[in-house]
């Protein structure tokens, strides 16, 4: 397929903000795309060059693009810069220059979709010496052959800035529109422009044709009057509406599995309810295939080549992450039971980060919730996973928690996030921030996709599959509970251990990738943050000996007295520690050993897990696990929180969590 077809579609997409119109435009393109280009066209329309599960990104920075545009057009970089400032978009600059370009040489080729995607994909793998020149020449090769419009979109795609307003929902609906029959009664077929319109419209939103349709029979007539040579699966009830222009299959059996939907253009069921159900069934089928593959290109290709049956055969692939199921927040235990039923499974809510673990033979891959490959950053988890799981092929869902090697206490997420990003000195990081893995679900076992199984059955399989390694690779602690008191006790116990709360799970629920459907709820104590004053600090140890690293926090009494409420040593980035030290040093008013007293000037926003009674501090209260959220530069000491408010929060917390 010529790339110009895709570029033309981009232009049409850019000219409308209406979602439905975008779906129609995309569906039109997909219908005329050959099998060979289908996957690439879909990926390009999503503004990507790899499917969503693949975390490789296009490695073109705007400066390199500026250089490439300049070299290709034979214009000075200064000129390009000026144009860039004027137009605000390098794509528009490339378009303008392509318009002015002198007669093309004979070697100019027509760009194909394959050529564009191939060159852009190649760029991703280029590193090391000469990388810049190689990348430049790959894009330049495309730009030399591009028409002005093509140039604009090649530049934007390479920069990762296509922004067509095309999301997963539009692509899914476009695939359905392009490769499945139109269901009359649920979707309306515009008699003038022949696109699909949802039934609640009175006018076609595209061509403004009137749609004077109320009864289903009128709607069917409208379709039949306007189409010919179509294959139509029609309910026997509408026999009297048949005409000579089309090819009818009369039936009262709308079991979709029985028909090759690829050869049918319209389905005319008995009632609107039936129409709605059929449409929902199709939507769900396509969505489920996508949830398993995370690749609309593959889904479209499967539909086109193998139809309904093909979709049924799609499965999870080890090594390719899926989107994880999300938890719904509930206000209290009563609501939790309402959502997930009685009895339900309750698990410790570990405060770390979500990890998906894939194993195929000896090969292990680890992914974040956003599907980034982090196998290299966590070699110890890969090793433990291998030891704990003997099966050939497995995919697990888990939480990874960082622990303080000295105190054995869980570390806040901010700490462990350093490990996710770190690509060097991995061994040092393993020692500095050791982690534990808590597996809580299983998606795939030796080629079998388990997403549709009940949670309690998946858990049983998980228990059979994982041989726990203490403090290294364990199963999430779980209890099956049926009373509010039992849950309250479990929750209190977990909060006491420094965990975030509980996750409740519906025993008979399937796994719904990427959804917040209430099969899983979170019960956590997340208190409102406080603005507190720093009144003292302590010099750190070891690597932190040059920093003030533990900060004494105070609130105000109604009379303006400062009352201590705890010590905070976490939540700060290295940068913030440095800033804090520098600022507090100038405010020191007294020193005793490692401890300093400071003039009360700095106000910080503090998050915490719980407020407790405490005889240690002058406020009579203490914050459990306080952590810094941010500096409150705009707040003065007079604006900090009062003991009265904190006491009120303490009472509220008792009301919710006993």
Active site residues: 349
What is the C-alpha separation between 58 and 346, in angstroms, rounded? 42
What is the C-alpha separation between 431 and 422, in angstroms, rounded? 14
Per DSSP, which regions of 372-518 are E strands?
393-402, 435-445, 448-449, 473-475, 478-481, 501-505
Q: Is residue 282 within 8 Å of residue 257, measured between CB atoms?
A: no
Q: How far apart are CB 462 and ligand ATP at their closest, in Å?
A: 11
- Nearest to ligand ATP of 399, 552 (CB atom): 399
The number of helix segments (H) and strand segments (E) in the chain equals: 21, 26
- Nearest to ligand ATP of 399, 531 (CB atom): 399
What is the C-alpha separation between 403 and 351, in angstroms, rounded? 11
Report the greatest alpha carbon distance in the chain.
99
- Nearest to ligand ATP of 490, 551 (CB atom): 490
- Nearest to ligand ATP of 118, 335 (CB atom): 335
- Single out the residue of 381, 469, 395, 397 nearest to residue 433, CA to CA: 381
- Single out the residue of 458, 420, 426 nearest to residue 442, CA to CA: 458
Residue 38, CA distances (Å) to 14, 297, 308, 314 in order:
21, 6, 18, 17
- Nearest to ligand ATP of 259, 519 (CB atom): 519
- Nearest to ligand ATP of 159, 326 (CB atom): 326
In the complex, the residues that contact ligand ATP under the rule CB under 6 A are: 326-327, 347-350, 354, 399, 440, 476, 503, 522
Three-class DSSP category at 101: coil
What is the C-alpha separation between 331 and 142, in angstroms, rounded? 55
What is the C-alpha separation between 56 and 40, in angstroms, rounded? 15
Q: How far apart are CB 525 and ligand ATP at their closest, in Å?
A: 12
Q: How far apart are CB 372 and ligand ATP at their closest, in Å?
A: 15
Q: How far apart are CB 471 and ligand ATP at their closest, in Å?
A: 17
**Virtual torsion, Cα 468, 474, 480, 481, nearest 10 deg:** 140
What is the C-alpha separation between 580 and 440, in angstroms, rounded? 39
- Nearest to ligand ATP of 267, 330 (CB atom): 330
Three-class DSSP category at 500: coil
Residues in the chain: 658
Q: Quickly tell me which residue has 């529109």 as its tokens.
A: 177
Q: How far apart are CB 646 and ligand ATP at their closest, in Å?
A: 24
Q: Is residue 529 within 8 Å of residue 605, measured between CB atoms?
A: yes
Q: How far apart are CB 451 and ligand ATP at their closest, in Å?
A: 15
What is the C-alpha separation between 386 and 362, in angstroms, rounded? 7
CB atoms within 10 A of CB 586: 9
Please name the helix (run of DSSP H) or strand (run of DSSP E) that holds residue 339, with its range, or none: helix 333-340
Residue 444, CA distances (Å) to 318, 505, 582 in order:
8, 19, 52
Which residues contact residue 3 at a Cβ distance below 8 angstroms, ignoring those fewer than 6 apart? 111, 112, 113, 115, 116, 146, 150
Q: Quickly tell me which residue has 């061509």 as its tokens.
A: 207
Q: How far apart are CB 377 and ligand ATP at their closest, in Å?
A: 17
- Nearest to ligand ATP of 269, 352 (CB atom): 352
- Nearest to ligand ATP of 299, 607 (CB atom): 607
Q: How far apart are CB 306 and ligand ATP at their closest, in Å?
A: 34
Please name the helix (run of DSSP H) or strand (run of DSSP E) that holds residue 66, with its range, or none: helix 62-73
- Nearest to ligand ATP of 295, 347 (CB atom): 347
Q: How far apart are CB 643 and ligand ATP at their closest, in Å?
A: 29
What's the chain's Rg over C-alpha atoms?
30
Q: What are phi and psi of 94, to 5 degrees?
A: -60, -35
- Nearest to ligand ATP of 288, 348 (CB atom): 348
Per DSSP, which regions of 68-136 are E strands?
none
What is the C-alpha separation between 281 and 256, in angstroms, rounded? 9
What is the C-alpha separation between 243 and 384, in angstroms, rounded? 68
Q: How far apart are CB 440 and ligand ATP at their closest, in Å?
A: 4
- Nearest to ligand ATP of 249, 480 (CB atom): 480
Q: How far apart are CB 16 and ligand ATP at their closest, in Å?
A: 31
What is the C-alpha separation between 120 and 101, in angstroms, rounded? 23
- Single out the residue of 79, 170, 141, 83 nearest to residue 150, CA to CA: 141
What is the C-alpha separation between 533 and 195, in angstroms, rounded? 63
Residue 652, CA distances (Å) to 80, 332, 336, 551, 553 in order:
61, 12, 19, 26, 22
Q: How far apart are CB 354 and ligand ATP at their closest, in Å?
A: 4
What is the C-alpha separation between 104 and 207, in angstroms, rounded? 39
Per DSSP, what are the bridge partners of residue 501? Answer: 349, 524
């Amino acid at each position: 397929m010529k790339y110009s077809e895709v570029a033309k579609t981009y232009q049409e997409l850019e000219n409308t903000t209406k979602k439905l119109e975008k779906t129609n435009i995309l569906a039109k393109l997909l219908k005329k795309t050959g099998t060979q280009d289908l996957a690439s066209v879909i990926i390009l329309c999503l503004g990507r060059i790899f499917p969503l599960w693949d975390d490789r990104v296009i490695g073109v920075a705007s400066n390199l693009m500026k250089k490439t545009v300049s070299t290709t057009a034979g214009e000075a970089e200064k000129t390009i810069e000026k144009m860039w400032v004027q137009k605000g978009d390098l794509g528009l600059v490339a378009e303008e220059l392509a318009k002015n370009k002198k007669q093309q040489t004979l070697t100019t080729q027509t760009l194909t979709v394959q050529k564009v995607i191939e060159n852009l994909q190649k760029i991703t793998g280029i590193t090391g010496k000469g990388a810049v020149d190689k990348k430049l020449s790959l894009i330049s090769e495309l730009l030399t052959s591009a028409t002005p419009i093509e140039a604009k979109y090649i530049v934007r795609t390479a920069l990762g800035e296509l922004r067509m307003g095309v999301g997963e929902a539009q692509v899914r609906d476009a695939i359905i529109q392009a490769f499945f029959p139109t269901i009359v009664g649920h979707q309306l077929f515009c008699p003038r422009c022949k696109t699909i319109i949802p039934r609640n419209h009175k006018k076609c939103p595209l061509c403004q044709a009137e749609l004077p349709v109320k009864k289903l029979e009128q709607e069917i007539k409208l379709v039949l009057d306007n189409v010919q040579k179509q294959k139509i699966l029609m309910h026997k009830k509408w026999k009297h509406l048949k005409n000579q222009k089309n090819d009818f299959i009369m039936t009262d059996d709308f079991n979709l599995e029985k028909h090759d939907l690829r050869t049918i253009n319209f389905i005319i069921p008995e009632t609107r309810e039936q129409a709605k159900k059929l449409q929902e069934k199709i939507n769900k089928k396509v969505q489920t295939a996508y949830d398993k593959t995370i690749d609309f290109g593959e889904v479209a290709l499967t539909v086109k080549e193998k139809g309904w049956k093909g979709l049924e055969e799609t499965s999870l692939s080890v090594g390719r992450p899926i989107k994880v199921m999300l938890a719904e927040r509930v206000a209290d235990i009563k609501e939790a039971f309402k959502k997930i039923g009685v009895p339900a499974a309750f698990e410790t809510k570990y405060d770390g980060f979500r990890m998906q673990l894939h194993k195929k033979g000896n090969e292990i891959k680890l992914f974040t919730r956003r599907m980034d490959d982090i196998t290299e950053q966590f070699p110890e988890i890969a090793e433990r996973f291998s030891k704990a799981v003997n099966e050939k092929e497995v995919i697990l869902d888990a939480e990874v928690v960082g622990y303080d090697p000295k105190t054995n206490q869980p570390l806040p997420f901010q700490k462990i996030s350093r490990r996710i990003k770190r690509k060097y000195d991995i061994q040092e990081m393993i020692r500095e921030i050791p982690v534990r893995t808590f597996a809580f679900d299983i998606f795939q076992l030796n080629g079998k996709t388990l997403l549709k199984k009940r949670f309690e059955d998946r858990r049983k399989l998980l228990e059979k599959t994982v041989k726990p390694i203490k403090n290294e690779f364990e199963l999430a602690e779980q209890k099956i509970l049926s009373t509010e008191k039992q849950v309250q006790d479990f929750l209190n116990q977990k909060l006491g251990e420094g965990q975030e709360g509980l996750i409740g799970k519906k025993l008979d629920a399937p796994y719904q990738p990427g959804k917040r459907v209430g099969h899983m709820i979170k019960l956590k104590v997340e208190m409102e943050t406080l603005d507190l004053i720093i009144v003292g600090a302590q010099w750190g140890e070891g690597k932190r000996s040059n920093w003030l690293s533990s900060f004494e926090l105070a609130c105000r009494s109604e009379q303006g007295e400062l009352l201590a409420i705890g010590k905070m040593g976490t939540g700060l980035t290295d940068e913030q520690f440095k800033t804090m030290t520098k600022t507090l040093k100038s405010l020191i008013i007294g020193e005793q050993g490692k401890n300093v007293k400071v003039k009360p000037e700095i106000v910080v926003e503090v998050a915490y897990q719980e407020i407790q009674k405490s005889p240690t501090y002058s406020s009579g209260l203490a914050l459990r696990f306080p952590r810094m959220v941010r500096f409150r530069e705009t707040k003065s000491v007079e604006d900090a929180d009062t003991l009265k408010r904190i006491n009120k929060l303490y009472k509220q917390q008792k009301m919710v969590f006993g």
